[in-house]
């Protein structure tokens, strides 16, 4: 067991899975949970009542609190796992000094709305965190399979070899394998974009399109992701790596994909608002769609799949009409 003190900020399914992963390698995890009643339930019964409730924790190895600064004060390495849409609000009152000279780890897959910033960019501009201090934990991964201890590969992206090795050591286990990348921004943008594509995949599934069409949809989507990345954050990268292509595939095809499920509900006639309420989980692609649309405005890139999702979500386009129009734009 490593002696390092680790804090997890967030209480959703991925945060819960990360706590499970970390307890393979550290004696105790400090865990920030916003709601006092959820924190008390965790400490009393040893499981999260809302997410991955089948995962049991030894409460002697948890320090659960609804006080953010108290949790961060104990951490050598904080791991943030809050939906990007709620990040700014959740961190209100956080003392930035508690992040100074620490690896700041983000397991968040989304863009901060209102700022159109990646999480690392948000930490950099809001809290003056150097990019070399930032670390990204990315997939392909679903929390449900981690909970079942099914073999999962994670990518640790950072500009610091030391931080990469430290975080990789914390996450590696019998059922978690890690790979270290220096493509900090690509490892963030990839998951943002694939969540939008997964909504498209869910819509197409809900409308009755088959595997043949999905293969074309996803291959075209990978080209859109590559074009966007090379325009917005150019770098030498292999788009076929698992952090890009693998994450795209699992999010578009998996039964656990909330963005895919969100798209299926849109195809059945739910409004975006109704679908979000019904799921009681955050589909990050909903917020990312608007952010990416705004970010692409100065570039004018041809992104037909991403544009189709935006039209359905924000311009009230009918899914069946929008996807039929998309058919002739794919090859």
- pLDDT tens for 82-94 read 999 999 999 999 9
**Residue 149 region by backbone torsions, left for phi larger than 0, else alpha for psi between -120 and 50, else beta:** left
Question: Against a cut of 0.85, is the pTM above it?
Answer: yes
Residue 273 CA neighbour count, 13 Å, CB half: 2
Per-residue model confidence as pLDDT tens digits over 209-227: 999 999 999 999 999 999 9
Q: pLDDT tens across 315-326, in order? A: 999 999 999 999
Tell me which of 3, 74, 194, 318 is the catalytic residue.
Answer: 194
Q: Which of 282, 286, 266 is nearest to 274 (CA)?
A: 266
Confidence of residue 283 (pLDDT cuts 50, 70, 90): confident
C-alpha–C-alpha distance, residues 249 and 36, integer Å? 37
Q: Mind listing the pLDDT tens digit for each residue in 164-202?
A: 999 999 999 999 999 999 999 999 999 999 999 999 999
Average per-residue pLDDT in the chain? Answer: 95
In whole angstroms, give the CA distance from residue 316 to residue 179.
41
| pLDDT of amino acid 234 | 94
Q: Flag whether pLDDT at 281 surpasses 90.
A: no
Q: Determine whether 241 is an active site residue.
A: no
**Model pLDDT for residues 51-67, shown as the tens digit of each residue:** 999 999 999 999 999 99
Residue bearing tokens 């104990």: 74
- pLDDT tens digits, 224-267: 999 999 999 999 999 999 999 999 999 999 989 999 999 999 99
Tell me what pLDDT residue 278 has.
86
Give the Cα separation of 9 and 103 in Å (integer): 14
Q: What is the pLDDT of residues 98-111, one digit of tens each?
A: 999 999 999 998 89
**Which segment of 199-208, 219-228, 279-288, 289-298 scores lowest on mean pLDDT?**
279-288
């Amino acid at each position: 067991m490593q002696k390092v003190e680790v804090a997890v900020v967030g209480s959703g399914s991925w945060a819960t899975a990360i706590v499970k992963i970390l307890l393979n390698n550290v004696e105790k995890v400090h865990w920030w949970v916003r709601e006092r009643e959820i924190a008390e339930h965790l400490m009393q019964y040893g499981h999260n009542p809302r997410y991955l409730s089948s995962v049991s924790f030894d409460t002697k190895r948890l320090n659960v609190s609804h006080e953010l600064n108290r949790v961060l004060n104990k951490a050598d390495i904080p791991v943030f796992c809050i939906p990007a849409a709620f990040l700014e609000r959740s961190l209100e009152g956080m003392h930035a000094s508690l992040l100074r000279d620490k690896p700041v780890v983000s397991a968040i897959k989304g863009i901060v709305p209102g700022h159109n910033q990646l999480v690392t960019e948000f930490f950099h501009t809001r809290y003056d965190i150097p990019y070399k201090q930032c670390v990204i934990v990315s997939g392909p991964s679903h929390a449900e399979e981690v909970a079942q201890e099914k073999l999962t590969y994670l990518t640790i992206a950072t500009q610091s070899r030391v931080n990469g090795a430290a975080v990789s050591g914390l996450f590696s286990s019998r059922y978690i394998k890690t790979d270290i990348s220096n493509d900090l921004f690509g490892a963030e943008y990839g998951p943002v974009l694939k969540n939008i594509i997964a909504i498209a995949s869910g819509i197409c599934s809900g409308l009755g399109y088959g595997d043949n069409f999905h293969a074309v949809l996803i291959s075209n989507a990978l080209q859109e992701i590559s074009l966007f990345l090379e325009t917005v954050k150019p770098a030498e990268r292999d788009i076929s790596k698992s952090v890009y292509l693998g994450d795209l595939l699992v999010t578009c095809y998996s039964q656990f994909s909330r963005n895919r499920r969100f798209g299926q509900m849109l195809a059945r006639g739910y409004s975006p608002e109704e679908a979000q309420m019904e799921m009681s989980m955050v589909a990050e692609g909903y917020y990312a769609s608007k952010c990416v649309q705004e970010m692409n405005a100065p570039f004018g890139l041809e992104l037909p799949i991403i544009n189709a999702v935006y039209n359905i979500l924000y311009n009230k386009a009918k899914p069946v009409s929008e996807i039929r129009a998309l058919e002739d734009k794919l090859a």
